[in-house]
Copies of this chain bind each other. A is one copy, B any other.
Amino acid sequence: MKKINGGVTAAMGFEATATAAEIKYKGRNDMALVYSTVPAKVAGVFTKNVVKAAPVKWDIDIVKNEEFAQAVVLNSGIANACTSKIGEEINQEMAKAVSENLQIPLRSVLTASTGVIGMQIPVERAKKGIAAMAKNLDSSVEAGHNAACAIMTTDTVSKECAVQFTIDDKVVTIGGMSKGSGMIHPDMATMLCVITTDIAISKDLLQEAVKNDVQDSFNMISVDRDTSTNDSMIVLANGKAENKEITTKDANYDSFCKALAIVTHTLAKMMASDGEGATKLFEAKVIHAKTKNDAIVLSKSVITSNLVKTAVYGSDANWGRIICALGYAGVEFDPDIVDLYIESNGTRIKLFENGIATDYSEEEATKVLSAEEVTAIADMKLGTESATAWGCDLTYDYVKINGDYRS
């Protein structure tokens, strides 16, 4: 199992492209198209927000009812959320344009949008963009990269990852792209992620693998505790690797899940560290919790606390805020036996032991917290379960970006 260069075009039989359609932004690519040269098994998980964007509603229906899909059209700039029936019609027109240009069934086309809520997508421009993209599909690494860049909004870097492994001597590839970086607190999926793989697998097992995977990957990151209206993780598996189709939870299925986890964890951590205004990736590990759910809830409570996030920004070892965030998470534990550590670049410091501060050096603690990737570890000493969540610091730039995002 090894990471390779590339993203959504890494797996065999996948092509991508991007274009500048002027959906809202000027002078940059803002639409992307991902295409499988053959019908691919389709799986996906989507936002649990009651307010679902038009493309999310469309995709949920397709993932539920169709075995195969072949294309995903994505745009940045406008989210097509809170746009009522008109937004749904525009979304369908976009899917139809892809279907006509690529000569594939309408219900083989998935859609995904990200950007401002409430505005309508200028449909003629979108259709022009789709027509241009359909002629320009390409399986190069660069084409995948262009697609990953086109879906960025306030992201500062594109997020791509690809992994290869073998099943019965067949090389299998999984590649993916995703985008952050605000309204990121995924609940079942993340804001626009497309994973492509050439593995042969049944649709049911693909969906199950994806559903399980997000619990430990995208659902464990948060930038701002705001669960988006558009969160979508779409997975296409086209079978081009020519392995014997996976239809049971055998060793091959496990290999696929492991490889998928590498791709999704990598993308998830990239999203957290590129959170709006972020200067640091902040990881919270909760170990020896009573239950898995306790560990999840506790670790997410730490990474989502504004007070913890600002302290991380200031490299201030204000550990009381971490203990406080554990305390209000809604999980019972005994504060008098908890230990707390911080760690970066291989240096670990114990700040708190059995309910009271240790005699740690503030200077050393500040040094540990000044790294680009910082971990806090809470040892609950109550059981055997653990969980890891990823977030980022809360900075002046977060306020700047969001104080006037629309202008």
Query: Is A187 within 8 A of B50, CB to CB?
Result: no
List B contacts of A399 (CB < 8 A): 310, 313, 394-396, 398-399
Query: Is A320 within 8 A of B117, CB to CB?
Result: yes
Query: Is B316 within 8 A of A407, CB to CB?
Result: yes
Least CB distance from A396 to B in Å reads 5
Contact of A306 among B225, B328, B335, B404 (CB under 8 A): B225
- In the assembly, what is the distance between CA of A405 and CA of B314, in Å? 9
Q: Does A22 contact B (CB under 8 A)?
A: no
Q: Does A323 contact B (CB under 8 A)?
A: yes
Interface pick from A58-66, A78-86, A241-249, A281-289: A78-86
Q: By the criterion of a CB under 8 Å from any partner CB, how many residues of chain A are at the interface? A: 68
Q: Is the interface of A mostly helix, strand, loop or mixed?
A: loop
Q: Does A331 contact B (CB under 8 A)?
A: yes
Task: Give the residues from 184 to 222 in chain A that come closer than 8 angstroms, CB to CB, to chain B.
Answer: 185, 187
- In the assembly, what is the distance between CA of A335 and CA of B54, in Å? 12
Least CB distance from A113 to B in Å reads 12
Least CB distance from A181 to B in Å reads 12
Q: Does A364 contact B (CB under 8 A)?
A: no
Q: Does A98 contact B (CB under 8 A)?
A: no
Interface pick from A5-13, A264-272, A350-358: A350-358
- In the assembly, what is the distance between CA of A182 and CA of B116, in Å? 30
Q: Does A228 contact B (CB under 8 A)?
A: yes
Least CB distance from A90 to B in Å reads 13
Chain copies in the assembled complex: 2
- In the assembly, what is the distance between CA of A187 and CA of B119, in Å? 37
Q: Does A371 contact B (CB under 8 A)?
A: no
Query: Is B328 within 8 A of A48, CB to CB?
Result: yes
0 or 1 for each of A365-407: is its CB under 8 Å from B? (1 = yes): 0000000000000000000000000000011101111111111
Query: Is A310 within 8 A of B398, CB to CB?
Result: yes
Q: Does A319 contact B (CB under 8 A)?
A: yes
Least CB distance from A204 to B in Å reads 28
Q: Does A51 contact B (CB under 8 A)?
A: yes
Given known pairs A226-B307, A314-B403, the reply for A328 and B84 (CB within 8 Å) is: no
Query: Is A320 within 8 A of B50, CB to CB?
Result: no
Given known pairs A86-B356, A311-B403, A355-B84, the reply for A324 and B51 (CB within 8 Å) is: yes
Query: Is B306 within 8 A of A224, CB to CB?
Result: yes
List B contacts of A253 (CB < 8 A): none
Q: Does A332 contact B (CB under 8 A)?
A: yes
List B contacts of A290 (CB < 8 A): none
Q: Does A148 contact B (CB under 8 A)?
A: no
Q: Give A332's nearest chain B residue, CB to CB.
A: B50
List B contacts of A50 (CB < 8 A): 326-329, 331-333, 335
Q: Give A277's nearest chain B residue, CB to CB.
A: B399
Contact of A314 among B329, B356, B404 (CB under 8 A): B404
9 additional A-B pairs beyond A52-B327, A81-B324, A316-B403, beta carbons within 8 Å, are A51-B324, A51-B326, A81-B320, A84-B336, A117-B323, A117-B324, A118-B352, A185-B328, A311-B403
Please list 21 pairs of residues, one from A and one from B, whose beta carbons are closer than 8 Å in the complex, sorted by A's number.
A49-B327, A50-B329, A51-B324, A82-B335, A82-B357, A116-B318, A118-B357, A119-B357, A183-B321, A183-B324, A225-B304, A227-B324, A227-B327, A306-B398, A306-B402, A310-B399, A310-B402, A314-B402, A316-B404, A316-B405, A316-B407
